Structure 1
Amino acid sequence: MRKRFALPLCLLLAAAFGCSAPRGDSRSARAGEARAATPQASGQSAGRPKPSSGSPFLDRLSDAAVERTSHEVRYDPTYFVIPYPNGDVPAEVGVCTDEVIRSYRALGVDLQQLVHEDMKANFALYPRTWGLKKADPNIDHRRVPNLMVFFARQGAAQPVTDNARDYKPGDVVTWDLGNGLTHIGIVVAVPSESDENRLQIVHNIGAGPKMEDVLFDWKITGHYRFAGPKPAAKPTPQPNARRK
């Protein structure tokens, strides 16, 4: 059985990340591997096509998130000093944000570098919750409030609604769990068993990366559709100067 931290320590450490704390309910204990073994894990059910976002990148992100459920990850909100760029905490540990980071990285998008560069250039626009005076590439991208600001600044924000059809494969969703805790996960192309219009979520809320029907379980605070950084605009060619 997985050894748990004392609850007050869990809450303290998780709040420092702006991420969720471990919980022990039966829903989180369901194994992602068991789900992956069923036909529904591919997003397909009898006679129905696999749900699609309409974006090849976001469909691949959904697949990358589902693949994460095959990994054993211990929930651990410890601060790590990691390489930069493309740095990661040890593969066997992580928090909710790490599943988003690792899913994007599987597609060649390094949120560590993207968030760090934007925070360095626009530090005042990011939350001051943790009392930092400058960007920290070890932790900034691993905090839910920072990812929310980054995605919004990238033009990725989508309406927050109670209509399940508005949430597409590859979308990123954030929640308020109460008591100062936030959470984040990725919508995947696997319909709920109880409502085919509601897609499931890959997230880590304490028991490692799991795929669960939890979209509306908590208050949604953010909804994002980020298909990677926009390519830099090419300079407009200037006509050759003419001598008078």
Structure 2
Amino acid sequence: MRSDMTRKDSAMYYAIMIVLFVFCSIVFYVQTHYQHTSAIRPEDDYKGKIPQLHSSEDRDDDGVDDQLDILNGALAYVSTHPKYKSRYYENGYPDDNYGVCTDVVAYALKYAGYDLQVLVDADIRVHPQDYMVAEPDANIDFRRVRNLNIFFSHTAVALTTDVSEIEAWQGGDIVIFERHIGIVSDRRNKNGVPYIIHHNDPWQMAYEQDILEKRTDIVGHYRISK
């Protein structure tokens, strides 16, 4: 009897392992081949009028102010339909149509003339005690949410994290959550709270979403220039 039970237990174990292997294989394949996150922009549902803020700075001298450049850069990046996957790149910036949440911000700022890879690395070396990075690595440090929160607290304009102050949230702002980051959209929900342009996970249905009111983990809201 014990021998029969042992064989049944072994058969059940191997069956479970095979099912798990097949499931994980399917998930991996879907993540790497069939992510169809939509870059179609949502409608602006707010009936009021909050003018888009424009910065007095134009870092890349392209005739478009930083605030609008950052917004346009985020939209341009997600329009390429990047797939979600975290990996290390020898040149820092992903170049294979994969990426994570921090890449939305990095490419948005690069579009405006700010190279986060260079800027964050320089700030880490000036303020190592704030970052507590044992060995700085310019290729990855600027792609970590925690580091970006510290960097922006040093270099950007800190703004309210109260989402009810809707006029204080402007397209092109940067919002940081405990483990996530995104760019504030210029389109809003019916309450006037802006959508967020972000890349959260492989299962995300759209890159521009109404999530700000639903989050309870906002730790930072920044603007690059006045």
Q: Tell me the TM-score normalised to structure 1 length.
A: 0.67
* Change beyond 3 A, Cα 1:134–1:95: same
The equivalences for 1:3-82 within 5 A come to 4-5=27-28, 31-32=38-39, 34-35=40-41, 40=43, 51-55=51-55, 56-82=65-91
The answer to whether the aligner puts 1:111 opposite 2:119 as a matched pair is no
1:171 to 170, 173, 180: 173
Note if contact 1:123-1:134 (Cα within 8 Å) is conserved in structure 2: no
The equivalences for 1:229-244 within 5 A come to none
Structure 1 match to 2:105: 100
* Change beyond 3 A, Cα 1:135–1:52: same
The equivalences for 1:161-240 within 5 A come to 161-163=162-164, 164-176=166-178, 182-192=179-189, 194-195=190-191, 197-207=192-202, 210-218=207-215, 219-227=217-225
| Higher CA-based Rg | 2
In structure 1, list runs of 5 or more residues that go unmatched: 7-21, 23-27, 177-181, 229-244
* Change beyond 3 A, Cα 1:51–1:63: farther
Note if contact 1:75-1:94 (Cα within 8 Å) is conserved in structure 2: yes
Q: Which has the higher contact order (CA 8 A, sep 6+)?
A: 1
Letter in 2 for 1:78: R
Q: CA deviation at 1:142?
A: 0.3
Structure 2 match to 1:138: 139
Runs (4 or more) in structure 1 with deviation over 6 Å come to 45-50
Note if contact 1:63-1:188 (Cα within 8 Å) is conserved in structure 2: no
Letter in 1 for 2:172: G
Note if contact 2:69-2:111 (Cα within 8 Å) is conserved in structure 1: no
Q: CA deviation at 1:152?
A: 0.6
Identity, in percent, stands at 28
Aligned residues: 185
- Partner deviation per Cα, 1:48-75 (whole Å, 9 max, x = no partner): 8784123231122112212223112111
- Between the aligned partners of 1:90 and 1:77, the Cα distance in structure 2 is 13
Q: CA deviation at 1:123?
A: 1.1
Q: CA deviation at 1:157?
A: 1.6
More helix by share: 2
